[in-house]
Every structure is written in C-alpha cells, then in structure tokens.
Amino acid sequence: MAEPRKIIIDTDPGQDDAVAILTALASPELDVLGIVAVAANVPLKLTEKNARKLCELAGKPETKVFAGAIRPMVRKLVTAEEVHGKTGLDGPDLPEPTMKLQDQHGVDFIVETLMAEPKGTVTLCTLGSLTDVALAMVREPRIVPRIHEIVMMGGAYFECGNVTPSAEFNIYVDPHAADIVFRSGVPIVMMPLDVTHKALTTARRIKAFRDLGNRSGVATAEMLEFFERFDEYKYGTDGGPLHDPCVIAYLLKPELFTGREVNVSIEITSELTMGATVVDWWGITKRPKNAVVMGGIDADGFFALLTERIGRLP
C-alpha cells in the first residue's frame, strides 16, 4: 500500500462531522496527524469534547485532539443546536471522554505541523468554519505553499443556502476566514450543498449502519436518526444530506465525485448575501480558478464506502 496520506481534520462535531471522523480513523490510507475542534455547530467546549468522545468510540484514544478558535475572526459566533441538539452530538448516549485534550492551541498545531512536515505532504480537511485555517495562514504565511490541498465541506451555489437563502452554514459562520482561504492560492476541493444534498441518509442507508452490529455502527445510526429529522422536515425528503463525510470519501475514492475547476469568491460586505460562495461556473470573469467545486456524487457508492469503513471499527 502507498504511504498513508497525512491529514489534519478541522471540525465542529456535529453528527455529520462524526461520521467523517469515524471513517477517517477507520481508514489505513489516512494518517490523521491531529483533529482540531472549532466553534461552529456548538460552542468550542462541546466540539472539542465531542471530538474526544468520537476518538474513544472509534477505539483510537491516542489520537491528538486540539481546541482551535473559540469564535469567528470578525463576526459573532452563530451555532446550530436546532440541528445537532444541545450537546452537538445528540442521538447516542456516548460516555464522557477520558482521553486528554492537547494543551497546544489548534492553530499553533496546524502551523507547527505544516512547518515540520515535508512541504506539500499535508492535506487540511475542514468540516466546519475556516477560522482555524485562516488564523494559521495569518499567523504564519509560510505555511501557505506548504499545504498540499484543502478539502472542505462548505458553500453552495445551484442548491442555494441552508442558513440564509444565499449562504451555507460553514462559510456563513466565518465569511472573512473563508475569504482569506479562497484567496490564498492553496488548491481547494470544495464539497458544497450542491453535492451533499445528493447524499441523503435514507432509512435503508441508516439501517445498513445499524446492521453492522458494532458500537460504532449503532452509534452512527443513532446520530443520523437524530441529525436527519431537521432537514427531512425542512426539505420534505427521505433522509437528510450527509455533508462532511464527502470530504473524507473524496480522499479515499475521488472517483465517487464529479466537479469543475472554477473561481469561487466570498461575499463579505452585503449583510443580505453575507457568506455567499459566488461560483463562476461558466468562466465569465477573469478571476483565478481557485477551487474544484463538486456537483456530482455516486451516492450508493458513497454510503457503501462509509458503511464498510465504519464496520471496521469496534
């Protein structure tokens, strides 16, 4: 097998983040150098605790978990307890974590790791706001050319927004951070709502997780049954979109996705469209092509991958 791919996961667990983290920890193709929790779905003290709960659920208490930014760079923190519950990981009753949170700040961990690892060997996988990545870039600009690529869940274009009519939550929480990251020149693979809304947690797909019979599979089913109720009601669909695991699935099987390299620019001035990801799909402007924006997914192949990987866990 080729050398495992080194990744740092920046996340705001979050049930969909949880499925992404479990899949990553179950996959030998990936070397998870660290998990950095950021405030977004719920406050930081919960996202970092949830990240540690998930590492222990996966039987990986040696994973390094860090606390990152406690709030966005400029705007007030907006959270999403209505979607994820008051703990941010409602559904299963997971035990309080015993593994320790790392003392180092998550942003310092990102900078230190990128400066220490060989140039171009570390991929940043962001599942929440881009605050930590933007702060790291501002703190140490020398990391920018050292990042292999950023694979991120966030944004929306043809699908329109989920937190406002024009903005997706991860970008909306910290649009200024997103603007810094999308202007950085680092290669970006973007998983917007346009693709995640084609990956619905139908009853059959949730049953496949539960039928694994292991604690990780049962917990995944319980998380998704809680998580999907908000979007099922909102969109009137069978199941809700499973956003964040698209990032990890792309690393494992990129052929599951189709997209286009285009310019993506972030709205940071108009309150009406704050956090909108303006995608130049038809190349109308001369703005640089800074992201591969995904729009297509083999949803059955996606869920088969997630189920098989989570089946490898305790």
Q: Smaller CB distance to ligand RIB: residue 111 or 200?
A: 200
How many residues bind Ca ion (CB under 5 A)? The answer is 6
Alpha helices in 75-202, H assignment, sequence order: 81-84, 106-116, 131-139, 169-173, 175-182, 193-196
Query: Which residues, at least 6 apart from 221, have a Cβ–Cβ distance to it below 8 Å?
Result: 206, 207, 209, 210
| SS3 assignment, position 86 | coil
Rounded to the nearest 10°, the torsion over CA 168, 80, 229, 86 is: 160
Q: Given the rule CB under 6 A, which of 25-33, 99-107, 108-116, 163-171 is the region that contacts ligand RIB?
A: 163-171
8 Å CB contact between 125 and 10: yes
Beta bridge partner(s), residue 164: 167
* 194 binds ligand RIB per the rule CB under 6 A: no
Beta strands in the chain, from DSSP E residues, in sequence order: 5-11, 30-37, 65-67, 122-126, 147-153, 188-191, 257-266, 277-280, 291-297
* Buried/exposed code over 193-229 (b: 16+ C-beta within 10 A; e: otherwise): bbbbbbbbbbeebbebbeebeeebbebbbbbbbbbbe
* 14 binds ligand RIB per the rule CB under 6 A: yes
Applying CB under 5 A, which of residues 7, 8, 10, 14 lies at the interface with Ca ion?
A: 14
Give min distance, CB of 128 to ligand RIB, in A. Answer: 5
* 132 binds ligand RIB per the rule CB under 6 A: no
* 48 binds ligand RIB per the rule CB under 6 A: no
Give min distance, CB of 193 to ligand RIB, in A. Answer: 7
8 Å CB contact between 101 and 48: yes
Give min distance, CB of 173 to ligand RIB, in A. Answer: 8
Q: List active site positions.
A: 243
| SS3 assignment, position 169 | helix
* 17 binds ligand RIB per the rule CB under 6 A: yes
Beta strands in 181-285, from DSSP E residues, in sequence order: 188-191, 257-266, 277-280
Q: Given the rule CB under 6 A, which of 10-18, 30-38, 205-213, 294-302 is the region that contacts ligand RIB?
A: 10-18
* 175 binds ligand RIB per the rule CB under 6 A: no
Q: Smaller CB distance to ligand RIB: residue 162 or 263?
A: 162
Applying CB under 6 A, which of residues 123, 170, 184, 201 lies at the interface with ligand RIB?
A: 170
| SS3 assignment, position 123 | strand
Q: Smaller CB distance to Ca ion: residue 52 or 146?
A: 52
Residue number closest to ligand RIB, CB atom: 169
Q: Smaller CB distance to ligand RIB: residue 111 or 247?
A: 247
List of residues contacting Ca ion (CB under 5 A): 12, 14, 17, 127-128, 244
List of residues contacting ligand RIB (CB under 6 A): 12, 14, 16-17, 40-41, 127-128, 153, 162, 168-170, 243-244
